[in-house]
Structure 1
Amino acid sequence: MNKLFGILLSASVLTLSACGNKPEQNQTSKENDTGSTQTLKTIKLVSTGADTDIWKYISELPETKQAGIDLKVTNLTDYVVLNTSVASGEQDVNAFQSFNYLAAYNASNKEKVAAVATTYFEPMGIYANTVKSVDQFQQGATIAIPNDTANEARALSLLQTAGLIKLKPEFDLAKGTVNDVISNPKNLKLKPVQMTTAVRVKKDVDAIVLGNTLALEGGLNVLKDSVFREPADQSTKLYVNLLGVAEANKNDPAYTKLGELYHLPKVQQFVTEKFSGTKVEVNQPISEFTDIK
């Protein structure tokens, strides 16, 4: 997939520099290639599924050490814990969510998570068992959608874009629910399910609406297997993925450097090959997304 999003995509040159501060509790000292000692800041990053492989790859790059970072990567499957562990300080940074998911989390929790870098956009898709296009769905067809707040709203928005339903004009793209459906010409049965189980229930429904990471893990490619998918443009800006840290740490330059590492050409080549081009790089300042609440 070619880089899209207009102003959201940048071809900026990344400059990574090593940290030279005194060792702290979360810092280690290692010898660099010249034999001198370099102070590294240990960063505990938590991600999920195949995305974890990206960060494990980054953790092993010499550029990561050159940036003064000793990256420790953990895989978790519980989306709530992915945020609460960062907000509480148990983990330093997470890499799994989009801006709308972050907004929904922060709206419901006292301890906030802040975005420090953008990573990619990957389209959500509609995957059907028998039909080849959305206009072929029969009356009363059952479509499984994610049951978590942000992704339920995103799935409903996608179904509206596909022409299957109509939502209230004031539909909240971060917190909207099935109760906001005002027109459903085919009387589709919208069935909220836990997103991580959606691929397993695919055979029991007529279609599922699913994010790309979980789709890939279930053997589905949004570019080839979906009957409809989100466009990669300004209308899907709030679905750009990010690195999240505790609110108190949002100005720590180490996390900015971590975001820069993600956009190294060798990392992007790894991501493109591993995910078959379904993760579109977005390298843009966080200030471009401050309107997403």
Structure 2
Amino acid sequence: MKKFIFKVLILALAGVLVACGGKDKSGDEKSLKLGATPGPYSDMLTKAIIPELEKKGYKIEVTEFSDYVQPNNALNSKSIDANLFQHIVYLENFAKENKMELTDLISVPTAPLGIYSEKYKSLDEIEDGSKITIPNDPVNAARTLLTLQELGLIEIDGDVDPIKSSEKDVTVNHKNLVFQPIEAGQLPVSVKNTDLAAVPGNFAIAAKMNLLDALALENMPDQFRNVVAVRTEDKDKQFAKDIIEIIQSAEFEKVIDAEFEGFGKPEWMK
């Protein structure tokens, strides 16, 4: 009977060890499901973040989403543990509108919006009345106008928050630029058919454009830099701390410098 009880205890202990084998010291699971959209941020996960997570003992599964809605839905429903594809303005608006408790962990280097042209070789060549295609969504349109203001081509009403500005807030148009709002996904194609085109970085990269071919790249406000997002309840868990530690590491920055040329770094990296 004693031998039988001893064997039962050994089996029970083995079961406990197996059950705990996938967790770290804090009790967090050592397996993670990460989400991203195809392109540079999926690549950033694969090349700069996941290898370091694996060194820490995590088993990683990546899901790619084809739109900007499902990654947050999946995060909220706990289908994934974190995602990387959006800036904080989008995250906060999406979470508020959909009553989700989502939080940004840390911002990462982000592909900037650029002003591209096949007609002009420099900003100095821009002629009066030139046509410029711009994104038709409010956030990217505001980024475009802010960039054009910084380049000295327009002026925006000083009483308006620049990151919320629209065409109606342009008070001075030095070159009488003609704005042509279109879907962001069509902007890379429009470069061939217009004088100027304002193309967000992710769409430029998806179209295999070279960021450094732009006449100018935006001086991106940190609100428009992409972030790693998690559920608010998970922001202090060990996996979240590990992700922050990895992104703040010298190894991460080396990969960014080597593999993501032209990406603008957030203020904390400078």
Q: Give 1:243 deviation, angstroms.
A: 0.6
The residue aligned with 2:34 is 44
The residue aligned with 2:46 is 56
Q: How does 1:76-155 map to 2 (within 5 A)?
A: 76-106=65-95, 108-155=97-144
Contact 1:116–1:244 (8 Å) recurs in 2: yes
Contact 2:156–2:165 (8 Å) recurs in 1: no
Q: Does 1:210 align with 2:192?
A: no
Q: Does 1:279 align with 2:263?
A: yes
The residue aligned with 1:220 is 209
Query: 2: distance between equivalents of 1:112 and 1:160?
Result: 35
RMSD, aligned α-carbons = 3.2
Contact 2:48–2:256 (8 Å) recurs in 1: no
Contact 2:222–2:267 (8 Å) recurs in 1: no
Per-residue Cα deviation, 1:3-41 (whole angstroms, up to 9, x for no partner): xxxxxxxxxxxxxxxxxx9988xx9739xxxxxxx9623
Amino acid in structure 1 at the alignment position of 2:213? D
Query: 2: distance between equivalents of 1:191 and 1:58?
Result: 37
Which secondary structure state, in structure 1, belongs to the residue aligned with residue 61 of structure 2?
Answer: strand
Amino acid in structure 1 at the alignment position of 2:242? K
Contact 1:166–1:182 (8 Å) recurs in 2: yes
Q: Give 1:82 deviation, angstroms.
A: 3.2
Query: 2: distance between equivalents of 1:52 and 1:137?
Result: 36
Contact 1:59–1:72 (8 Å) recurs in 2: no
When residues 47 and 259 of structure 1 are mapped into structure 2, their CA distance, relative to the original with a 3 A threshold, is: farther
Query: 1: distance between equivalents of 2:21 and 2:195?
Result: 53
Q: How does 1:12-23 map to 2 (within 5 A)?
A: none
Q: Give 1:69 deviation, angstroms.
A: 2.6
When residues 160 and 23 of structure 1 are mapped into structure 2, their CA distance, relative to the original with a 3 A threshold, is: farther
Query: 2: distance between equivalents of 1:106 and 1:174?
Result: 19
Amino acid in structure 2 at the alignment position of 1:262? I
Query: 1: distance between equivalents of 2:77 and 2:142?
Result: 27
Contact 2:156–2:170 (8 Å) recurs in 1: yes
Amino acid in structure 1 at the alignment position of 2:263? K
Amino acid in structure 2 at the alignment position of 1:47? T
TM-score (norm 2): 0.77
Query: 2: distance between equivalents of 1:115 and 1:283?
Result: 15
Contact 1:125–1:210 (8 Å) recurs in 2: yes
Query: 2: distance between equivalents of 1:217 and 1:131?
Result: 23
Which secondary structure state, in structure 1, belongs to the residue aligned with residue 146 of structure 2?
Answer: helix
Per-residue Cα deviation, 1:216-243 (whole angstroms, up to 9, x for no partner): 3333333x311122237xxx23233211
Amino acid in structure 1 at the alignment position of 2:253? Q
Query: 1: distance between equivalents of 2:148 and 2:184?
Result: 16
The residue aligned with 1:269 is 254
The structure carrying a bigger helix percent of its residues is: 2
Contact 1:104–1:174 (8 Å) recurs in 2: no
The residue aligned with 2:219 is 231
The residue aligned with 2:241 is 256
Contact 2:146–2:163 (8 Å) recurs in 1: no
Q: Give 1:281 deviation, angstroms.
A: 4.2
TM-score (norm 1): 0.72
Per-residue Cα deviation, 1:151-210 (whole angstroms, up to 9, x for no partner): 221111111111222212233344332222222243322222222331122212211112
The number of aligned residues is: 250
Query: 2: distance between equivalents of 1:187 and 1:195?
Result: 22
Amino acid in structure 2 at the alignment position of 1:114? T
Which secondary structure state, in structure 2, belongs to the residue aligned with residue 120 of structure 1?
Answer: coil
Give the greater-gyration-radius structure (CA).
2
Amino acid in structure 2 at the alignment position of 1:42? L
When residues 160 and 252 of structure 1 are mapped into structure 2, their CA distance, relative to the original with a 3 A threshold, is: same
Query: 2: distance between equivalents of 1:64 and 1:47?
Result: 19
The residue aligned with 1:247 is 232
